[in-house]
Amino acid sequence: MGNYSELKNSYDGLIALLSTITKSAGVSASVEEITDTFNSEFIFYAGALSLCDGEIADEELKALSEIFDYKFDHLAVMNAAQAFSKTLECIPACVKIAVDIDNTAADNKEINVLLSVGVVSMFANIAQAIVAADQQLTENEAKLAIGYVNFLSDYVDKNLSDAAKAKLPKKE
């Protein structure tokens, strides 16, 4: 089993950042509601990745449990995968919320990070961890991992305001 403590720390940091930015940006929804949405959608995605090769390996269960600090079983992961599969062609609410928060906070000089970029990066990092957990990359896993992250990146790029995009690091 791999060590997922760094990814867990990054995940916890993203959720803490979400809370801070949500409060600073004056978002009307409660931090708890937004956090629950983020947690659910990351778990659904991780579950779908775990199942897309046709089985949920014990190593994948261990990875999910460590990353999300919850004891998952096969049924819980199957349910998460099924929930995700119903929304595969849709941008998850957590990405839409992150873009909205970034656009709302674009003129706030105290906020110098883009939550949406962190969210898409977290989807990519979770994909990498789940795919590596059972050390067997299938074509379906690769398509879901790469294709979905690209889908989310395209959405963020098309929907961030110019003011929010100005906070992106400059490319050399």
Q: What is the pLDDT of residues 97-145, one digit of tens each?
A: 899 888 888 877 777 778 999 999 999 999 999 988 888 888 888 888 8
Domain count, the chain: 1
pLDDT at 116: 92
- The larger pLDDT score, comparing residue 142 to residue 28, is at 142
On whether residue 134 sits in a domain, the answer given is: yes
pLDDT at 138: 84
Under 8 Å CB-to-CB from 91, ≥6 apart: which residues?
151, 152, 155
Under 8 Å CB-to-CB from 71, ≥6 apart: which residues?
65
Instruction: State the average pLDDT over residues 43-68.
Output: 89
The whole domain housing 116 covers 5-157
pLDDT at 171: 67
On whether residue 57 sits in a domain, the answer given is: yes
On whether residue 164 sits in a domain, the answer given is: no
pLDDT at 56: 87
Tokens of 150: 């690209």
Angle at 134 between CA 132 and CA 139, to 5 degrees: 70
pLDDT at 28: 67
pLDDT at 151: 95
CA 74/CA 64 separation, integer angstroms: 11
Q: How many Å separate Cα 99 from the centre of its chain?
A: 13
CA 125/CA 18 separation, integer angstroms: 17
CA 32/CA 16 separation, integer angstroms: 11
Unique residue bearing structure tokens 């995009």: 165
pLDDT at 1: 44
On whether residue 162 sits in a domain, the answer given is: no
Query: Taking a C-beta distance cutoff of 8 angstroms, is the pair 14, 94 a contact?
Result: no
CA 24/CA 113 separation, integer angstroms: 12
pLDDT at 128: 92
On whether residue 170 sits in a domain, the answer given is: no
CA 154/CA 39 separation, integer angstroms: 22
pLDDT at 2: 66
Instruction: Note the helical H segments in the chain.
Output: 5-25, 31-51, 58-68, 74-85, 93-104, 115-133, 139-142, 148-159, 162-165
On whether residue 20 sits in a domain, the answer given is: yes
pLDDT band at 55; cut points 50, 70, 90: confident
On whether residue 169 sits in a domain, the answer given is: no
On whether residue 166 sits in a domain, the answer given is: no
